[in-house]
Structure 1
């Protein structure tokens, strides 16, 4: 892991500027009557790394999809600082739980897909896609097909595809949940480096206390269905975060704090 970066980038919402996106009293009820999310208020500042932490089925993914414009709130509103809707934003990237790659296309073509949909010239699209693959550590695998890649490598391609449009906000829905612990740790490290270099706002859904503490500046804890925000607290630890941080007393203390807040949320 490259430890050339230090401390953390300032979040604009913390400095008094308006947040990049605001969730205001948002609820989501599905057609079968299930109330998945209820009265969520949340501000996301530019450059922040925020984790949504909660048990399975608590509405984390539903909330993320509403922020992305992939689902509409039943009540409430999601407001962007510049007034544009999520559906109209080329500067929003989304990484799903599964890589969702086109099996008939190689890594380069998979990453080029968002550029092709925006009618970016082919040569420029190839150059940008190759740059993103190199950024996620896959230089030399441009012509490899998904069947030839490991689970972690396929997820790297998925992240490269989400980053190729240079998003201001990257939304991630438990992208590493199915990976082994070693690969997951490595991708956590790489994700932090990408976040630092690209300075996007990151919103990361997870049910892992340890992952949320390792990655985040802020942790938003959600209660079981209907999903509600039960706690929103800072992770007071500097970057870089590496194996020394994972084995430190500070990390253990922060994990106990997050675990306690999660236990309270589950019991509410």
Structure 2
């Protein structure tokens, strides 16, 4: 396998696809083959989940799409523009931890990407406030992270990812550490936000139930090195809500996804 590093191709001419991965692999310097070869196509405006066992390369795939890590081989095409964050173009990334700056306000945490991009302070402040309103935190702009619950911190992280108005939103297990009630509420809020903004969302999770509830497609990955085990389309009446979560269709899809995931866990390598 080639160890030559290649950079993702930033391509504005993709008509229907937001992201295209072809033959993508990731081999670390210690020889561990973390990913691939992986082939994945995500349509513009689509919400998909990457589901698989720990260490299968889900987060690695997100980092490659975001250009935070280079693939060892293969082709990555992302339909966005190069350069500093611009309205309507680019990638927003929500990490597993909120990673907020504790010494400054919620508004300033959200404004940071715009500040780094050199936007005038008044414009950046207005856009930060708009992003906070979109995640239900308009009244907490002056609060500090230490004053927020875990769920509220994650909302701030989401607002910070949205403040540049990205085309693509990458989410790496953002709700994994939250209690079940908070997680359900944020799942509902995320779906409402997606329906409103129609961003392309690639969501990493370990939860079968979360992946089925949120996604139009659940992409099940094998144990390391991660490849696609199954690609399951979730076809339901929209908009989804608690009726879907308690429906027979939801249970059927969860069983189908669990069955596709089972071989990945039975064959998972010991870390």
TM-score by length of 1: 0.90
Q: Which residue of 1 aligns with 2:131?
A: 132
SS, match of residue 140 in structure 2: coil
CA RMSD of superposed structures (Å) = 1.7
Give me the whole-angstrom Cα distance separating, in 2, the residues matched to 1:177 and 1:104.
25
Cα shift readout 1:9-53 (whole Å, capped 9, x = no counterpart): xxxxxxx95412210100001111111002100001100000000
Which string of whole-angstrom CA distances, capped at 9 and with x for unpartnered residues, describes residues 203-251 of structure 1? 0000100000000000100011111111112001122211111111111
Instruction: State the alpha-carbon separation in 1 of the partners of residues 30 and 238 from structure 2.
Output: 44
Contact 2:171/2:202 (<8 A) preserved: yes
1:107 corresponds in structure 2 to 106
Q: Could you tell me which residue of structure 2 aligns to residue 46 of structure 1?
A: 44
| Structure 2 alignment gaps of length 5 or more | 1-13
1:118 lines up with 2:117 in the alignment: yes
After superposing the two structures, state which structure 1 stretch, 121-130 or 151-160, moved more: 121-130
Aligned partners of 1:68, 1:106: CA distance in 2, in Å? 27
SS of residue paired to 2:34: strand
Moved more, 73-82 or 132-141: 73-82
The residue aligned with 2:59 is: 61
Distance 1:153 1:87 in 2: 27
Q: How many residues align?
A: 252
CA–CA separation in structure 2 for the residues paired with 1:17 and 1:201: 14
* Contact 1:68/1:87 (8 A) holds in 2: no
| Residue pair 1:173, 1:204 contacting (<8 A) in 2 also | yes
| 1: CA distance, partners of 2:37 / 2:68 | 19
Find the residue that maps to 1:44 and give its secondary structure: strand
Residues 86 and 239 of structure 1: is their aligned pair in 2 closer, same or farther, counting only changes over 3 Å?
Answer: farther
Structure 1 residues 18, 240: CA separation in 2 closer, same or farther (over 3 Å shift)? Answer: closer
Q: For the residues of structure 2 that align with 1:88 and 1:267, how far apart are their CA atoms? A: 42
Contact 2:19 2:77 in 1 (8 A): yes
Output the CA distance in 2 between the equivalents of 1:87 and 1:112. Answer: 14
Q: 3-state DSSP class of the match of 1:26?
A: strand
> Cα offset for 1:88?
8.0
> In structure 2, do the counterparts of structure 1 residues 174 and 157 end up closer, same or farther at CA, with 3 Å as the change threshold?
same
SS at match of 2:26: strand
In the alignment, what sits opposite 2:250?
A: 251
Match of 1:142 in 2: 141
Q: Tell me by how many angstroms 1:265 deviates.
A: 3.1
The Cα shift of 1:59 comes to 0.7
Q: CA deviation at 1:86?
A: 9.3
The correspondence for 1:37, drawn from 35, 38, 47, is 35
Q: Is the 8 A contact 2:22 2:38 kept in 1?
A: yes
The answer as to whether partners of 1:27 and 1:75 remain within 8 angstroms in 2 is: yes
